[in-house]
Structure 1
Amino acid sequence: MSKLLKDKGIVVRTFKYGETSVILDILTEVHGLGSFILQGVRKSKSRTSPSSIQLAASVDLDFYMKENTDLHQLKELKVNTIRTSIYSDIRKIALCMFLSELTRRMLNKYENHQLEFSLLQSVLDDLEANDDNWSIHIWYLIRLLEISGFSLLKHRVHPEYYYDIPSDTITSNRPLHHSYLSGYDMITLTQLNQADVRQVSQFKPKRDERNRLVEKLLDFLKVHISGFQHIQSFDVLKSVFE
């Protein structure tokens, strides 16, 4: 038996299903990350706006929650926050792709993720409002790690020391592998983490430094989350900023 529920959500993946339907992965405020099918949306007379099924769209949804299924049926889907710049700037589009894929990879389905929902909402709002906040994805990644219980930045590292990611230890010797953060990297990440979302745009590391920090943080996830997969949109993000 199913029951009709209402919630707010953020679209983190969308793909076509059949001739006229789409399947959406949506991070909801109350019911966590879930998969939903919206039927008939690609018909010419559909009442659903195409903007409501865009990646990173903030939406109100009415859906039927059914036990023992991973796919829930949407009755209605409406955009509740109008955003334009994140869909007109290729750099922001690439960032939205990365933020969405990272969210899907890190969160478990159908668990309570209200903190993560609020965090992603604030990041998207800031990305919409600012045209130079190219470190926002690093800030989001650090905050997601914190919420998920990882204490990467618990270490206070001397600038000349190193954080060895696989062993989760501090060492005075540069590791023989590439999976480590320098003391300077750790200081940068700590400063970024201490900033409010509205202050992140003040951090302006160069492109190569941004990419390196993200790569190392993703290395951390691969080591500490079993089965964590490669974030494909990171390759897109790097190419867009070349």
Structure 2
Amino acid sequence: MTHKTKGIVIKTINYGETSIITAVYTELFGLQSYIVKGVRQATKKSAGKQMYFQPSAILEMEVYHNELKNLQFIKEYKWGYLYGKVLFDVVRTAIAQFMIELFQHAVKQPEANPELFYLLEGSLLEADKGGNAAVANLPLYFMLHLATESGFELHGNFSRQTPVLDLKEGAYTGLEPIHPDYISGPLAEAISQIQRIQLYNELENIKLNRQSRRQLLESLLVYLSYHLTGFQKPKSLPVLQELLD
């Protein structure tokens, strides 16, 4: 029996002489591994097919699914969305790569979670279509909402009574903790503002300079590291920090 589902390519590796194994986060089944045969053959029929399985590609697929198997098969696939800017704008490319890598570190189980799928899909679409000011803040939005959908959202809000964000506890507090993993003042307030945003275009209202944005990226990675087992900093982070204004 086959199922039609949208999917977002997370990672692809070569398999054998002509095939690939691709990890795809699907709308219906969550994270799944698929073997795709023959796409690396040097034939006219196979020409260009590997492009479908580059990380961040959004696909519409018809798949075979057997819950007892670790490797599934794709019957048919086509583009679910064709990027206009992500493939040609280095900043947007770096943001998409960062979000995919972050998602890969955070989501490792196959359980379906449509809200996680919609978060990743929506964020990738915003990286492609959004205005520059909104896109610059997109990684911060994605990190906060990835935490929320993974079950460990920040507690509380920035206020005069709670001006400190304890990254270890994941909560706003009135006192600085004894450990060094916290932020306060305007940085903590910015995180609180981004956390409340519901529409991507509202991100353009968050005014951050280059240094503040870099500090917040580092701080949220510390926060994620406390709550995700075996979490590692994305290798794409230095490139992203260098490119973001």
Counterpart residue type for residue 52 of structure 1: Y
Matched-pair contact (CA < 8 Å) for 2:123–2:138: yes
Match of 1:218 among 199, 202, 221: 221
Q: Which residue of 1 aligns with 2:27?
A: 29
Q: Which residue of 1 aligns with 2:160?
A: 158
Note closer, same or farther for the CA distance 1:23–1:236 as it changes in structure 2 (3 Å cut).
farther
Matched-pair contact (CA < 8 Å) for 2:9–2:57: yes
Q: Which residue of 2 aligns with 1:235?
A: 238
Counterpart residue type for residue 26 of structure 1: V
DSSP-derived class of the 1:87 partner: coil
DSSP-derived class of the 2:111 partner: coil
- What are the Cα deviations for residues 73-108 of structure 1, in whole angstroms up to 9, with x where unaligned? 222221121212101111111111111111122224
- What is the percent sequence identity of the aligned residues? 28
Q: TM-score, normalised by structure 1?
A: 0.88
Q: Which residue of 2 aligns with 1:180?
A: 182
**Would you say how many aligned residue pairs link Structure 1 and Structure 2?**
239
Q: Which residue of 2 aligns with 1:113?
A: 113
User: Structure 2 CA distance, aligned partners of 1:137 and 1:29?
Assistant: 22
- The within-5 A match list for 1:131-210 is 131-132=131-132, 133-158=135-160, 161-168=163-170, 170-173=173-176, 175=178, 177=180, 179-195=181-197, 196-210=199-213
Following TM superposition, by how much is the alpha carbon of 1:187 offset from its aligned partner in structure 2, in angstroms?
1.4
Matched-pair contact (CA < 8 Å) for 2:144–2:153: no
Counterpart residue type for residue 138 of structure 1: L
Note closer, same or farther for the CA distance 1:163–1:190 as it changes in structure 2 (3 Å cut).
closer
Following TM superposition, by how much is the alpha carbon of 1:162 offset from its aligned partner in structure 2, in angstroms?
2.6
Matched-pair contact (CA < 8 Å) for 1:52–1:79: yes
Matched-pair contact (CA < 8 Å) for 2:163–2:189: no
Following TM superposition, by how much is the alpha carbon of 1:27 offset from its aligned partner in structure 2, in angstroms?
1.1
User: Structure 1 CA distance, aligned partners of 2:187 and 2:165?
Assistant: 9
Q: TM-score, normalised by structure 2?
A: 0.87
Matched-pair contact (CA < 8 Å) for 1:23–1:38: yes
Matched-pair contact (CA < 8 Å) for 1:10–1:27: yes
DSSP-derived class of the 2:21 partner: strand
Structure 2: 5+ residue stretches without partners: none
